[in-house]
């Protein structure tokens, strides 16, 4: 008879800590985006509000991943053993589909704020991101294809141009989009067993959860921080130009 999966106290605590940290950082970034409205130009306030609301939703579902982890194990002596509750992997997917499309869409809105669309209007890019948010929880393959399409569009790569390098936040947008693409690539490499996660079941589970959380930080918190810094910089430049 195979023994039940057990985790050491250190392994369990490491995963719980990174899950708590991920939830807290996403929620803190949502609050920062919301409060930064008071010191930003009016034209950038809606992207800040939209990204803040999306991150609040993402933080809520990320907290579900943390709660599910606590419910999935119970302390038995000097180790944690499984209880039979399943991990909430679907909550992590929903958090991604709420946060990532919204934040990238806000980058697209700001890059279109100069009024030059060069072939890609706000209506078209809105439909792309809406499709990504709806499809992501149901089909990973279609989500990857659509994510690449919207990433190409937002970064201003031909044939989808958002005023190229002359649009606001051109460099910031490409860095943020690159972080999202990198985190997505790492996630799918892990799901296809192409990352060195170890051979023991407990090692694979622990390292997999830690990598998933780090990818969530890379795809949600880092782009949001870049968005916040970029908006504050543009607002400062706009106020400096006023007589």
> What pLDDT sits at residue 158?
43
63-81 confidence digits (pLDDT tens): 999 999 999 999 988 899 9
pTM passes above 0.75: yes
Q: DSSP string spanning 82-97? A: E-SPPP-HHHHHHHHH
Domains of the chain: 6-241 (1.20.1070.10)
C-alpha angle with apex 183: 193 to 80, nearest 5 degrees?
A: 60
Specify whether the CB–CB gap between 142 and 159 falls below 8 A: no
> What pLDDT sits at residue 3?
56
159, exposed or middle or buried, with CB in 10 Å at 0-12, 13-18, 19+? Answer: exposed
139-197 confidence digits (pLDDT tens): 888 888 889 888 887 776 544 444 445 567 888 988 999 999 999 999 888 888 888 88
Interatomic CA distance for residues 233 and 131, integer angstroms? 31
């Amino acid at each position: 008879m195979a023994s039940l999966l057990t985790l050491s106290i250190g392994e369990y605590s490491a995963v719980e800590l990174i899950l708590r940290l991920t939830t807290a950082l996403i929620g803190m970034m949502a609050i920062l985006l919301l409060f930064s409205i008071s010191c930003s130009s009016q034209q950038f306030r809606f992207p800040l509000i939209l990204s803040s609301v999306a991150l609040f939703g993402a933080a809520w579902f990320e907290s579900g991943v943390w709660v599910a982890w606590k419910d999935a194990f119970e302390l038995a002596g000097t180790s944690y053993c499984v209880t039979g509750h399943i991990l909430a992997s679907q909550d992590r997917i929903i958090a991604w589909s709420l946060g990532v499309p919204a934040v990238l869409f806000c980058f697209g809105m700001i890059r279109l704020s100069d009024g030059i669309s060069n072939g890609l209007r706000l209506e078209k890019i809105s439909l792309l991101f809406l499709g990504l948010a709806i499809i992501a929880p149901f089909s990973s393959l279609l989500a990857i294809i659509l994510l690449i399409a919207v990433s190409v569009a937002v970064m201003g790569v031909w044939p989808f141009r958002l005023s190229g390098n002359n649009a606001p936040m051109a460099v910031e947008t490409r860095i943020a989009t690159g972080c999202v693409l990198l985190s997505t690539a790492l996630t799918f490499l892990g799901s296809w067993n192409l990352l060195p996660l170890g051979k023991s079941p407990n090692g694979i589970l622990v390292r997999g959860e830690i990598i998933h959380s780090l990818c969530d930080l890379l795809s949600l918190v880092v782009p949001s921080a870049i968005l916040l810094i970029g908006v504050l910089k543009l607002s400062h430049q706009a106020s400096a130009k006023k007589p």
